[in-house]
Structure 1
Amino acid sequence: MNTEEQMRAVVAHGYGGTDVLGTVTVPLPEPGPGQVRIRVEAATVNPVDLATRSGALVEAGLMAARERTGIGWDVAGVVDGVGAGVTAFAPGQRVIGLRDLLDVSLGAYAGHLVLDAVAVAPAPPGVDAVAAATLPLNGLTALQSLDLLGLSAGDSLLVTGAAGAVGGFAVEIAARRGLRVVAQAGAADEEFVRGIGAEWTVDRAAEDLAAEVRRLVPGGVDAALDTAGSGIRALAAVRTGGAHATVVGGAAPVPLRGIRVHQHWIRADGAALAELAALKLTLRVADVLPLEHAAEAHLRVAKGGLRGRLVLVPDPGAA
């Protein structure tokens, strides 16, 4: 098989620390019916990638164990192949997409990625691939969680972890919808969250989250979107009969006081992703690394303190 029919990818061989990550050369994947193949220009590193690599998702029963596991959900790149029945995309088109299947042998940490066409959207116009790659997973998580809450313009919303990737998108989308946002963030991030639309801020170091929120919004907010795993602390800030959504696995509290509680699990949605791309949201990139430096990227994410995402870029000249 010649090099034109192969690609390089970073995968996990078994589960554990970053030492299980390795670069492999594999046959170029072919798109099947209803699928597109994307030449990867950028792939974002997300916390779920670390949980996949470590085996935490296997232990939680969210995926089956396998000898080789693909890593990476977010992709930005160029379509270079389409399967039968695909009419929405054509070779040469710049796109973004989300790989939401956990139990696969190849992920977005690769030279090419095959996705169902319904998981793909045109790339945001005027945005480079590195920045565009940070939108799918975190943007869709924020959008889908907000939709679960059923809020209307003028309603109040608490967003925990508001300076994080999901939290930042949630604040910005909520503000665009006319919601009044209370953003929980550190003092150093107050200017940022206000700049993307937060009306009020609560310091994440505050001892009593609910008391601080209720001081700003008497009676409690109409809903909370918990991206930080605050659980019952965030629920206590919500008015009786309100709504609460969490994006952290296992962090959904008991639905006290008639509050509607949702545990949100992300799903790929190309149509919604296209809507997000059109919103021109604030995209934050912490750093860019070569694909082969995936282990370093995982260590940096695990260390914490990043603002924005680390993005991996394949070497276009590598076999």
Structure 2
Amino acid sequence: MRAAVVTTFGGPEAVEVVDSEMPEPGARQVRIKVAAAALNPVDAGVRAGAFGGAGKRIGLGWDVAGTVDAVGVAGGTSLLERSRELGGAWAVGDEVVALDYGMVKPLGTHAEYVVVDTDAVAKAPATVDAVHAATLPLNALTAARALDLLELEPGQSLLVTGAAGAVGGFAVQLAAHRGISVTAVAREADEELVRSLGADRFSSGEVAPGSVDAVLDAALLGERALEWVRDGGVFVGVIPGAQPASVRGVRTTAVEVSPNGTHLAELARLVDEGVLTLRVAGAYALEEAAKAHARLAEGGVRGRLVLVP
């Protein structure tokens, strides 16, 4: 089996595609034959050593779309059989999406096969191909969790920074779907895009202080974006622990995503209903993983780059 890994930290050239042992699913796990796996900024961080793991072989990739290839066995009874008794199951051949969470792990989703826990898996959206489906898990789960932390009611106002990016774009669509009034902050060239996602208002960076109920800071503007929140409002960042300190009674926090097949299934349903748009900026063969990392490093990507084994 082929897999993209790093054994030394560095730039895109540090990514290697190597032969790896086929992973075997244990109890409450499934093995997925990878059809597509998105490349995210967190992968670049892992590659550069931002999360540690020096001296180890580290697998890359968090998002996956593919087909269940094997189901774990527990106590002599297949997990599939036990699941059927409870009214639900993952069977070989099921088309699924999943989030394989973890900064430092021996194998990620940038591989021909990956093993994940069953509760991280959801049925793949039926209306898109695997390349598009692979862009859903990490970024949509992050956006949805951020909105839950904001606790906004319909009619309240939300400003999303980095609204043309993957997390920001999903946040705009999800917030608009919930009846929240969205101001999108992005580059001027992206105004048409973010308005098409459901933003009511657009700004390229000039926002009146204290003018919105909440900010979701996908662009990592920090204290600058915090100024735009009204007294007693809410600020949510996307890097745990990196949010600015509270001022003026503004509650500040940050989202930390986790695998959740139930929530992912709901997001997949919203894709099929046309609420969420899956954007692919480009597709690369797994063997071109380093090339995909180089493209990501150039910046200006709209949508996700996807690796295809």
Aligned residues of 1:13 and 1:69 also touching (Cα < 8 A): yes
Give the TM-score taking structure 1 as reference length.
Answer: 0.89
- Confirm whether residue 275 of structure 1 aligns to residue 266 of structure 2: yes
Aligned residues of 2:184 and 2:194 also touching (Cα < 8 A): yes
Aligned residues of 2:59 and 2:106 also touching (Cα < 8 A): yes
- Confirm whether residue 228 of structure 1 aligns to residue 229 of structure 2: no
Q: How does 1:98-247 map to 2 (within 5 A)?
A: 98-204=99-205, 206=206, 209=207, 211=208, 214=209, 219-247=210-238
**Unaligned 5+ runs, structure 2:** 74-78, 84-88
How far does the alpha carbon of each residue in 1:90-127 deviate from its partner, in whole angstroms, 9 at most, with x for none?
10000000111222111011000000011110001121
**Unaligned 5+ runs, structure 1:** 1-6, 59-63, 315-319
Q: Which residue of 1 aligns with 2:66?
A: 77
Q: Which residue of 2 aligns with 1:4?
A: none
Q: Which residue of 2 aligns with 1:3?
A: none
Amino acid corresponding to residue 238 of structure 1 in structure 2: V
How far does the alpha carbon of each residue in 1:229-268 deviate from its partner, in whole angstroms, 9 at most, with x for none?
1111111111111111000355411110111111211111
Aligned residues of 1:143 and 1:170 also touching (Cα < 8 A): yes
Give the TM-score taking structure 2 as reference length.
Answer: 0.92
- Distance in 2, Cα, partners of 1:19 & 1:195: 37
The alignment-based identity, stated in percent, is 54
Aligned residues of 2:17 and 2:289 also touching (Cα < 8 A): no
- Distance in 2, Cα, partners of 1:66 & 1:104: 12
RMSD: 1.2
Q: Which residue of 2 aligns with 1:47?
A: 41
Q: Which residue of 2 aligns with 1:13?
A: 7
- Confirm whether residue 68 of structure 1 aligns to residue 57 of structure 2: yes
Aligned residues of 1:247 and 1:263 also touching (Cα < 8 A): yes
Aligned residues between the structures: 293
- Confirm whether residue 308 of structure 1 aligns to residue 299 of structure 2: no
Amino acid corresponding to residue 298 of structure 1 in structure 2: H
- Distance in 1, Cα, partners of 2:188 & 2:14: 37
Aligned residues of 1:230 and 1:251 also touching (Cα < 8 A): no
- Confirm whether residue 264 of structure 1 aligns to residue 255 of structure 2: yes
